Each structure stands twice: as C-alpha cells, then as structure tokens.
Amino acid sequence: MKQISLLIGVLSLSVFGSVNAANLSVKMTGSTNNNRYFLCLYDVGCLSMEKSAQSSQFPISSGAMKNLLKIAVTDTRTMQVYTQPISRSCQVEVNNNQTVNITGHLSVEGNTVRINQLECHTTG
C-alpha cells in the first residue's frame, strides 16, 4: 500500500508543477464510491475516482492528452493495475484554460476492471 501511495503522490507532482495549465474533470459511474479505484493517465498522474466525482477540476499540462495511448485503473485493495486503450476522443490538443471532461462507466466483473463507454469532451 505504501508503494502505490508513493507512486500516486509522485505522479501527481507533475500536475501541480505545471505552468501551462489546462483542466481535467473525471465523472465515472459504477463502482467508484469506496475510494478503491484510481484513474491513472501518463504524464498526468492518478486520481481517485471517488474524489474526482466530488471535485470539479484538476490542473494538467496543456500537452498531456495529445499523445495519450492508454489509461490505467489501479485497484488499491489488490494492487492490480488494469490498462486499456484510450478512446480517440481523448487524444486531443488541450489549450490553457480548457477542460477535458472524461466520462465512462467503471465495470468490475470478477478479476477484470474496465472503463466502458470511455469518452472525452473538451470545453472552454
């Protein structure tokens, strides 16, 4: 558990050090209400799906989404990391003061964790 917390903390540092800030909003339905699952994006960090539903936006680098190929969902109870390809709608150029809204449904079936209907929309 200490290792995953440290990883999440280190990955999140890049978010707060960014000068060219855009924003990220995550709204997931499904099994997100127990703070067990984290959405992880390369060059952005990991966000609690439960806390993301309660908070409106997180700062990200304006170039963070453009070359993104995969996302990961981390299960902090089992320490498993589940990767999946990202929707093409998420591979966007985001300018300063714009927001990328990530939506989907977290599906947990047996030993498989996945985000279904994963979509991104840019506003602002």
pTM greater than 0.75: yes
pLDDT per residue over 98-117, tens digit each? 999 999 999 998 889 999 99
Which residues on neighbouring strands pair with residue 109, listed in sequence order? 112
- The CA distance from 40 to 58, in Å, is 13
- Rounded to the nearest angstrom, the gap between the alpha carbon of residue 6 and the centroid of all alpha carbons in its chain is 17
Say yes or no: domain 2-123 is CATH 3.30.70.
no
Predicted confidence at residue 14, as pLDDT, reads 44
Residue 111 CB neighbours (<10 A)? 9
| Domain range summary for the chain, segments of one domain joined by + | 2-123
